[in-house]
Structure 1
Amino acid sequence: MNALTLPDIAAQTPAHPQALDWVGMQDIALPVNLAGQRINARVDVGVSLDDGNARGIHMSRLYLALHALEHNELSPATLQQLLGEFLDSHQDLSRQASITLRGEALLNRPALVSPLSGWKSYSFEVRARQYLWGFHVELQVKVAYSSTCPCSAALARQLIQQRFIEDFAGQPLEHAQLLAWLGSPQGIVATPHSQRSYATLQARLQPQATELPLVELIDAAEQALGTAVQTAVKRADEQAFALANGQNLMFCEDAARLLHSALLQQGELSAFQLQVVHAESLHAHDAVAASSWNWD
């Protein structure tokens, strides 16, 4: 008995010939190595279907090629090699290939003063594209921080001044009495409002970049803002955090400018765009600011 040849429907000519911009798969589960750790990523892959007479692409070839990422550190070189394999396996069908990886990196961050530390999760996304005219990689990361409103701080200080006038009008000031007043709810009658805020940084890497600077971008952003959210804290850390907020008052516009300046100092970037969102505690809406450099 002769074995039957398995049908290859994908090799048939489509009923309506037409080239397609992109064909592939999304939300593939894949472990990857980045920032010195194993990360459970979700991956989208695809190629262009430039031959309009072809019924479809070879999706299994894309899927199987992804296995290389399980064993190698994620880098521009490994991504470029992978996209090259995508195109080699689709000769005469495709001229462009892409991959997008999403995941969360866990970084151990120290407390501000005490010897405590804890883990923080940073959502990231890596996008790589291979075109006829070149290859590029983009890295996106989301960073949480605290923002204290400068206007609210000024209004709170004015109320404290007014209460001081009311409580000490015509009275001689004694050091102990004033010190007690400053440490009491009666004296500090108002505090500025602050909120958890988020910065989303999207950076395009230089062609000669050899690594994905995930930790470097996070560090640069948190240092520029000065008020990164904390993990494990003691009271001394909480007090230091209050001090950091008081010394780094910021509107969303201030945060965007600080981050823009910090990213300009990152030499491995060829372009970037960023957005900050301050989840207002005063208003029922968010305050948002965005900036970009060399982005097209």
Structure 2
Amino acid sequence: MHISEAVDQYTRHLADVRRLSPATVRAYRADLADMAATVGDPLLSAIELESLREWLWRATKRGDARSTLARRTAAARGFFSWATEYGHLKTDPSLRLIAPKRGRTLPRVATADGVGTVLDDMRARAEEGDPRDLRDAAMLELLYGAGLRVSELCGADVTDLDRAAATVRVLGKGSKERVVPYGRPAARALDAYLVRGRPALTARKDVPTTALFLGLRGARIGPRAVYELVSREIAPLVGADTVGPHALRHSAATHLLDGGADLRAVQEMLGHASLGTTQIYTHVSGERLAAAYRLAHPRA
């Protein structure tokens, strides 16, 4: 069996058996396809540790980031572990393949006042009654108010909202379900959208849909439209040309910790499997504290 054929089988295994998200499966496939192209797509049994090291070395010379190299190392190790477990290989050539240490990049975070100003402006626009403005205001409020991922926002249905409890049920990474609270501003924006915005958008499509947020043609909204909205409204706050919806998620987590929220509570809200993932936001808050100290303390 050639590597390319084994990669096809492995990625089907990731999708059908391990039930990873389509985006994750695509990322694994891309990394492993790059490996196959670099080593020349030989038989799976012909791959040795040196072949894999050569692949990573070429990626390093190409200028790939350490995080990319670490991800590709993990993809290769998962692939060859699967191939050995399922009898396609006698020994795993990746056992001594070492991933470079990943540098930690702190997320871009907007100030609470900046986000508040943007959301207030969005609410004022939505009061004019345009369905798109009503929808956009509700999406931004929910992204920030509940710290959602863009996939969670786009995948939410109307029935996932509990408006009495002010919570939303979402399906996160690894198909893990969680219930997340949101605040009064998000509740008001959602109520306005559901009453005046969504019915107008629903009328634009013949087939009814359960999706919470709809595009301008009445179908479930896609991630690209949410990216464009967030980038247009939030990018100026963080000094970037473009940012994605994660900027609001990062900001929500940091502002919660700045306000004294418990780290584990923030972990639960964000749906992080590891507390270590959440701890990156303590570094962001710590940097702000240090900056404030340097500016204000007489003995700084």
What is the TM-score normalised by the length of structure 2? 0.24
Structure with more helix by fraction: 2
Which of the pair is proportionally richer in strand? 1
Query: Which of these two proteins has the greater Rg computed from alpha carbons?
Result: 1
Give the structure-1-normalised TM-score: 0.24
